Structure 1
Amino acid sequence: MTHFFDTRGPGRMLGTATCLLAGTLLLTGCGGSGDSGGDGATRHGVASLESGAPDGEATVSAAPSTDDDGRPQLRLDSSDAERDRYWHIYATCLKDHGHKMLTARGPDSIDDTDHSATAKAATKACANKLPLQPPEMDRATNPHYDDDFRAYVKCLNGKGLKVTALPDNSGWTYDGNSTMSAAEQSKVDKSCTLEAFGGKAK
């Protein structure tokens, strides 16, 4: 399984599990939702660990800030519930506008093979609902992206999630089989993301 940061537009962590692209760190098999770049992009792919907030985690509170086009701007510390809510809004918009969905993988799983005129029109109509990823995780807005990414991968390995960075720092692959549970992997990823991308002065 390979995990990517999407630096084409939304800059959040993506994952591919030899099947489809995803819009957040994915540590399980195929199913769920993701995103792809382009003009308004769609979120496709494999099951996300971000489904539902763990016990004690705050659910969606105030709405995130928005850009000039009204797109929600997520933060590094956005809760799982907050991210999932805005991706759900985007996926629902696409579905309501006729974009094909992969319902067997979940209600918010978008079919990224749908390149029909209807899908293109849906993507355009819903572009202002596509969440913007934290600017710290986007090469276009973070001049320290490569250094931060290397620190992130080092942190993952230091906390026991053995991974190898891709040559272009766009993502990573597992270095062997992980013995961590999905919950443990999610916790490590969140901790390392905050530590590497947001935990020090630039």
Structure 2
Amino acid sequence: MPNKKNFFLTCAVLAVTLTAGCSSGADAETSEAGVDSVAESVGDAKGGSSKSPADSDTGRPRIRLDTTQFEEIRMYQGYLRCLKDHGVPISVKGNKMPEADPGTLWFPNIDVAEERPEVEKACLGKKPLHPPELDPQKNPDYMDDYSKWIACDNRRGLKVDPLPDGGGWNYKPGVTQPRNADQIDKECMIEAFGGE
């Protein structure tokens, strides 16, 4: 698995496979049903336009900073089921997450948005949204929070190098990482982005 932490595209996959957990928060109760994508009409003063929920955040499950890895995987089930229904190869969890139901769907081995954009568009209304705190477009303090996250990880023994764009981090080469790396990273992320 690559060393690079990129929580915008692969957070759930990395978090659940326990490489260095970057999972975020969510409500597990709403995770399995997903949201049907139904076009809605949105008008404006100049005549109106058509917009679907897949183009917005409407109705999509929202991950929180404090969501557990297990909750996050449950939240992704509606999206993964949709991908599978559209022909994307999806496997069950196998031994990747022993505490999960044996029928839990797992993430595809492809970048669906890049390789099957029509399927990504069809299923986007079911894909969980990452916490707004982790979105540089929505968090004006993102880079400051990101710097605090990296500093906390390093201070607590998870030795990482930040990426220049703030999109994640790499493990420092030649360093033995602590056994509780996932826990450290999660706690540091919540502390940095949650303002604690």
TM value normalised by structure 2: 0.67
Shift of 1:195: 0.4
> Which residue among 98, 101, 110 is the counterpart of 2:108?
110
> In the TM superposition, what whole-angstrom CA distance separates every residue of 1:143-166 from its partner, at most 9, and x where no partner exists?
000000000000000110001111
Q: How many angstroms apart in 1 are the aligned matches of 2:186 and 2:151?
A: 14
Q: How many angstroms apart in 1 are the aligned matches of 2:151 and 2:79?
A: 33
Query: Could you say if the C-alpha distance between residues 50 and 101 of structure 1 is closer, same or farther in structure 2, counting changes exceeding 3 Å?
Result: farther
Q: Which residue of 1 aligns with 2:168?
A: 171
Please, which runs of 5 or more residues in structure 2 have no aligned partner?
A: 36-55, 97-104
Q: Which residue of 2 aligns with 1:77?
A: 66
2:96 matches 1:98: no
SS of residue in 1 equivalent to 2:6: strand
Q: Which residue of 1 aligns with 2:6?
A: 4
Q: How many angstroms apart in 1 are the aligned matches of 2:72 and 2:140?
A: 24
Q: Which residue of 2 aligns with 1:196?
A: 192
2:146 matches 1:149: yes
Q: How many angstroms apart in 1 are the aligned matches of 2:190 and 2:149?
A: 9
Contact 2:64–2:131 (CA under 8 A) maintained in structure 1: yes
Shift of 1:26: 2.6
Structure richer in helix, relative to its length: 2
Q: Which structure would you say has the larger RCO, counting Cα contacts within 8 Å and 6 or more residues apart?
A: 2
Q: Which residue of 1 aligns with 2:14?
A: 26
CA RMSD, aligned part only? 3.1
> In the TM superposition, what whole-angstrom CA distance separates every residue of 1:128-149 from its partner, at most 9, and x where no partner exists?
1111000001001100000000
What's the % identity of the aligned pairs? 35
Amino acid across the alignment from 1:140: Q
TM value normalised by structure 1: 0.65
Please, which runs of 5 or more residues in structure 1 have no aligned partner?
A: 7-13, 15-21, 33-46, 52-58
